[in-house]
Chain A
């Protein structure tokens, strides 16, 4: 059974940092691109970042470029999101999601999602 479990969320002050993790199981993690998607309270979905299976291709939303870093450790079946210079507008539930097609880097549809981890940026 495919499982994605996020962790690392919490309360952080503006300007602070946080590192999110996503532990994957039930599939060959190293074969799939992975993504981070967020949802601010009461708002819609917003794509944050994508990383290809071998980390060769990485993309970021303009809203997080230069502040967030996506990475993965295929040996540990884990996806990460290092978030620096956090702002109030980064407050959201952060989901990790698997790309649905192993030959597509991004855009094929995200077929498995984690339960999300809440990040709150507030003083």
Chain B
């Protein structure tokens, strides 16, 4: 049973560049959420995708955008990178029909460094 996978593992970019992070959900899951975790902090919710649409969004600027594909995999795009975007980006998958007990399972994360 394949878990949540993310690529790449590490990424180094410079200010102003654009980046795309990728996520494949756990087998059988149809929902993907993205979180940003700054050093020493808890993860912060960016947005969630279900049925190829953004279902809920956290307090992040429009520079952060996403996409979900028919196979449920997802991408996170960040434009015009700032130094403050340096963080661990975590993808989590879940089952939309799970209700209140719906558990989000996380991938290993992508560590983004902006220089």
A and B form one complex:
no
Measured CB to CB, the residues of A under 8 A from B are none
Measured CB to CB, the residues of B under 8 A from A are none
